[in-house]
Amino acid sequence: MNTQKKFSTRGITILETVISIGMFAFVMIGLSSAILFFYRTSGFVFQESTAITSAQQGIDRMIRVMREAAYSSTGAYPIVSLANNDIIFYADVDSDSSVERVHYYVSGTDLYQGIVNPTGDPASYAGTEVTTSVAQYVRNISLGLASFSYYNASGTLMTDLAQVGSVRFITANVAVDIDTNRSPTAITIRSSAALRNLVGK
């Protein structure tokens, strides 16, 4: 009788131990999955936030340069060409004694700045552009979103972009998204510049 009782007690102890180990393993698996999900999610959010902040800073610098559009060192008109995702103009980007040829354009998923310094006497802009990235993960082309919009002196949106002499105000709209397959959707950064040296002319 005592032997049966001891065996029965030992059987319950082993069963409890197995159940405890199983529950512990189940909890640990769930906890590990939650931690991994948290790190993956927070890592993505951090990367997205960093990309947006970096793009905002780059676009702010671009807008400051646009405001300073000026006649070139050769006397050429400040604006060279306008397009939905491309603009070329002259401005002093580095506060030196010369005016540079500035080119902003979207290619692939980057917004670029190209600079050509004048050389020679008389001055010429025949050199090769020095290109840097202004913003990455730019989705304007895939979304069909114009990066630049142009307005005349009366504030009317320009549709004939060949009329470079009419532009007085530029808006930039840049959609940033590091992964188009994950939420959130692209964040659009908007900024604008009045061309100070042309306003009132």
Q: Which one is predicted more confidently, 76 or 7?
A: 76
pLDDT at 40 over 70: no
Residue count of the chain: 201
Summarize the confidence of residues 112-121 as an average pLDDT: 93
Per-residue pLDDT of 69-85, as tens digits, reads 999 999 999 999 999 99
Per-residue pLDDT of 123-156, as tens digits, reads 899 989 999 999 999 999 999 999 999 999 999 9
* Residue 38 within any structural domain of the chain: no
Domain that holds residue 71: 44-194
* Residue 51 within any structural domain of the chain: yes
pLDDT at 10 over 90: no
* Residue 172 within any structural domain of the chain: yes
* Residue 149 within any structural domain of the chain: yes
* Residue 76 within any structural domain of the chain: yes
- Picking from 103, 94, 95, the residue whose alpha carbon sits closest to that of residue 130 is 103
Between CA 67 and CA 103 the distance in angstroms is 14
* Residue 161 within any structural domain of the chain: yes
* Residue 119 within any structural domain of the chain: yes
Q: What is the pLDDT of residue 31?
A: 73
* Amino acid type, 139: R
Query: Residue 138 in 3-state DSSP?
Result: strand
Query: What's the pTM?
Result: 0.77
Summarize the confidence of residues 9-31 as an average pLDDT: 71
Q: What is the pLDDT of residue 7?
A: 47
Q: How many domains does the chain have?
A: 1
- Picking from 63, 104, 62, 70, the residue whose alpha carbon sits closest to that of residue 87 is 104
Between CA 60 and CA 64 the distance in angstroms is 6
- Picking from 127, 132, 54, 38, the residue whose alpha carbon sits closest to that of residue 93 is 132
- Picking from 149, 137, 148, 145, the residue whose alpha carbon sits closest to that of residue 184 is 137
* Residue 10 within any structural domain of the chain: no
